[in-house]
Amino acid sequence: MAGKLTFLSGIIRHEVNDLKNDLFGGNESDKEMTAEASAKAKNEEKKKEDAQKLYEEERRKKREKQEYQREKFRDGIRQKYGIEKKSPTEKL
């Protein structure tokens, strides 16, 4: 009976170690694959950063365009009603 339990516990221990290696990359024989995976992960991270920068730049341009349109609208109202534009240092 003890021999069967030892055998089963050995199999379970082996399976658990395999799962840990799969999850945490602890297998020493796959160093080349982890280097490739690391390089691939760095490449993916760089692509994400570039995409984020591009998105932020497009968003900034869009906001500047919207603000220009708003200011143009405000200038039209100021001209129509003869209102002078406040200087940035003036307070209410």
Q: What is the mean pLDDT of each run of 10 residues along the chain (92 residues)?
A: 73 82 64 77 93 96 97 95 83 58
| Residue 70: inside a domain | yes
Structural domain contains residue 68: yes
Let me know if residue 72 belongs to a domain.
Answer: yes
pLDDT at 89: 76
Residue 61 lies in a domain: yes
64 Cβ contact partners less than 8 Å away, ≥ 6 residues apart = none
Provide the pLDDT for residue 25. 67
48 domain-assigned: no
The count of structural domains within the chain is 1
Q: Is 71 inside any structural domain?
A: yes
Between CA 18 and CA 27 the distance in angstroms is 9
In a domain, 90, yes or no: no
CA distances to 24, 60, 75 from 28, in Å: 11, 47, 69
In which domain, by residue range, is 71 found? 53-81
76 located within any domain = yes
